[in-house]
Amino acid sequence: MVSKVQERKKVTPVYLKDKKSKGEKISMLTAYDYSIAGVLDKSGIDTILVGDSLGNVILGYDTTAPVTMEEMLHHCKAVRRGVKYAFLIADMPFMSYHISIEESKRNAGRFVKESGCDAIKLEGGTNMADTVYSIVNIGIPVVGHIGYTPQTAGALDGVVQGKDVQTAQHLLDSALALEEAGACMIVLECVPELLAKLITESVNIPTIGIGAGVYCDGQVLVVNDMLGLFEKFVPKFVKQYATLYPLIEQAVKTYVKEVSAGEFPKQEHAYKIDETILMKLKKN
């Protein structure tokens, strides 16, 4: 019997929820440009996040707070052009969803209308439930983000969140509020593993962990971290699947050396011209 090759389908929120119900894990990575987005998509990633972490790893800011709507849209458009199958999520930058629900809807809409993203992500739990509800209500899927929230890190006490009864209860309440508001997924950042497990078991939508242990329904990492491209510091929860920084450094050093020594380019890198044409040129 000839078996049919299963055609890969575009990933949707329904597909991702189905994965959770079957106990299948969801993969997510960040991307900020066309080339990397294309590799991730071709490699079978479920979802791609254009994270505002681009403020740190691409734009060189110290925090994500300065990232603007225009910067996010610019990168989302590039990533969109490289992605065919993965579910594409745009991170709403700081202050793009904090002033009013009207402004939040307008900005969320720009990610869909101008950059073609499938969904938006925003940071916050119970405090953002009304905003999430309003955005979902205009037909835009929303991913929540609780635990360590980098945009408002200054207001947090340390990195790992939910270490006492009060803050752990707040995270659980936030996850439930996000689900009730219609969020399609929740990112849990820097949450103790067993609290992430409890939250994951308490909601029907997928949880995606970053520094939240193995019991989440899926995992996300910043692509520059997992490829070993960002050398400034490596958080405890990052596994480096490659160490590209020293490879790039070595390649550039070799290039500089060869250019200085006239060893590059060689004949095979040069374009040719018929010598009779050169002979016909007028000499001054």
Give the torsion sign (CA, 53, 58, 63, 69).
Answer: negative
Residue from 24, 189, 201, 231 carrying the catalytic annotation: 189
Nearest distance, CB of residue 75 and ligand KIV, angstroms: 11
* Tokens representing residue 42 in the block: 């071709």
Catalytic (active site) residue 189? yes
DSSP run (H or E) holding 18: helix 13-22
| DSSP state for residue 86 in the 8-state scheme | S
Nearest distance, CB of residue 168 and ligand KIV, angstroms: 20
Please identify, using beta-carbon distances, which residue of 8 and 161 lies nearer to ligand KIV.
Answer: 161
Give the number of other Cβ atoms within 10 Å of residue 138's Cβ.
Answer: 10
Residue nearest to ligand KIV (CB): 51
* Tokens representing residue 145 in the block: 């983000």
Chain residues binding ligand KIV by CB under 6 A are: 30, 49, 51-53, 91, 145, 187, 210, 220, 222
Please identify, using beta-carbon distances, which residue of 27 and 30 lies nearer to ligand KIV.
Answer: 30
Please identify, using beta-carbon distances, which residue of 75 and 197 lies nearer to ligand KIV.
Answer: 75
DSSP run (H or E) holding 188: strand 185-189
Please identify, using beta-carbon distances, which residue of 171 and 210 lies nearer to ligand KIV.
Answer: 210
Annotated catalytic sites, by residue? Answer: 189
